[in-house]
Amino acid sequence: RAEDGQITLGLTTRNGSTSLPFVIAEEKGFFKSEGLNAIVVIMQNQVVVNGVVTRNVDYGGTFSNFVGAALSGLPVRIVMSAMDGSDHYLVTASNIKKVEDLKGKTFGISSFGGTPHSEAIMILRKYGMNPEKDVTFLQIGGSSSRYTALESGSIQAAMLLPPFNNFAKKRGFNQLMSFNDIMSIPLGGLSVHTQKIKEKPDEIIRMIKAVLKATDYIRNRKSEILSFIEAKWGIKEGDVRESIYRDMVALFSRDGIASDETMKNVIQLVRETRKSKDDKTLADIVDWSLFCLKLITRLVNSAENNSRRK
């Protein structure tokens, strides 16, 4: 566990669009401006969930794994959504031109029940394939690890986030589709142990404010973010950076609340992946009610507008 007073935020990678608001909040001082000594810690997807459940990790930055954990009855709640849609792309080996060509191939995922796994199952079913029989799923880790596995040839397909799908396209891999073209689901966010909601609601509100401020910074400081993408993600081509920026900014949540429709989509996705029945409701999975997120957003936007007028 982190030293006393230090808040740990578990992510699967520092690079990539879903991680960006949290990394910017850390690097640009938005956590500190809210009086928070918060650090980003990189770990495997399931380790993030287990860490929050055991209270060794304060906040989880992943999403569908926490939906699955809540559906299982574990004491976790999602308290903020970072993105209103998925920017995962189905990327395949150069000899795989269509989804049906994946029969008999190995598909890299972060973890069983994670977002990339659920998305892969949905795509395969949509194209008339049997995910259990037609492909072999291999747990590898975040987009960075899946991209490396794709490069090495140990897998033939993966759902990848920017910039890794861009790296793959440059190396001759095929990008077959964006999952967002099939279904809108929330991606990334803040999840906590239910006990933290009772014990430290003020801390959670300040974490949410910091991430929303970071998202606002990303939206309004395009040139700085393009430079960040070049320096930290290694994207040298200006047109590729522009494309990544445009696509991800369109998906970032403005108020931190996922719509009921997108939540129903992700719950359906996770239930189909887990193949288990439960009687959980939305209130068992998310908790928007404790925090006036709309008010927080207005305060953030008001502060931004005031600073621009000066």
Q: Which range marks the domain in which residue 279 is found? A: 6-85+185-305
User: Among 156, 181, 206, which residue terminates a domain?
Assistant: 181
pTM of the model: 0.84
Are 164 and 257 found together in one domain? no
CA-to-CA dists, residue 207 to 56, 197, 245, angstroms: 17, 12, 24
pLDDT class of 307 with cuts at 50, 70, 90: low
Q: Are 87 and 246 in contact (CB under 8 A)?
A: no
Q: Are residues 20 and 57 in the same domain?
A: yes
Q: What is the tens place of the pLDDT at every residue in 62-116?
A: 998 999 999 999 999 999 999 999 989 999 999 999 999 999 999 999 888 888 9
217 and 70 inside one domain = yes
Q: Are residues 128 and 53 in the same domain?
A: no
Asked if residue 30 belongs to a domain, the reply is yes
Same-domain status, 189 and 298: yes
Residues 79 and 97 in one domain: no
CATH number of the CATH domain containing 296: 3.40.190.10
- The number of distinct structural domains making up the chain is 2
- Does residue 214 lie in a domain region? yes
Residues with Cβ within 8 Å of 5's Cβ and at least 6 positions away in sequence, in order, are 37
Confidence at residue 272, expressed as pLDDT on a 0 to 100 scale: 85
Q: Domain ends where: 181, 197, 224?
A: 181
Task: Examine the domain organization and report whether 191 and 274 are in the same domain.
Answer: yes
pLDDT higher than 90, residue 310 = no
User: Is 210 in the same domain as 64?
Assistant: yes
- 51, part of any domain: yes
**pLDDT band at 293, cuts 50/70/90?**
low
Other Cβ atoms closer than 10 A to 310: 4
Q: What are phi and psi of 175, to 5 degrees?
A: -105, 110
Residues 155 and 220 in one domain: no
Last residue of a domain, one of 181, 203, 231: 181
Reported as a single tens digit per residue, the pLDDT across 205-253 is 999 999 999 999 999 999 999 999 999 998 899 988 999 999 999 999 9
Do 52 and 134 lie in one domain? The reply is no
Q: Please answer whether residues 180 and 87 qualify as being in contact, where contact means their C-beta atoms are separated by less than 8 angstroms.
A: yes
The token duo for 283 is: 């209130």
The three-point CA angle 292-294-300 to 5° equals 105
Note whether residue 310 is domain-resident: no
Note whether 176 and 194 are same-domain residues. Answer: no
Q: Are residues 201 and 301 in the same domain?
A: yes
Terminal-to-terminal C-alpha distance of the chain: 43
Query: What are the tens digits of pLDDT across the range 138-194?
Result: 999 888 899 999 999 999 999 998 889 988 998 999 999 999 989 999 999 999 999
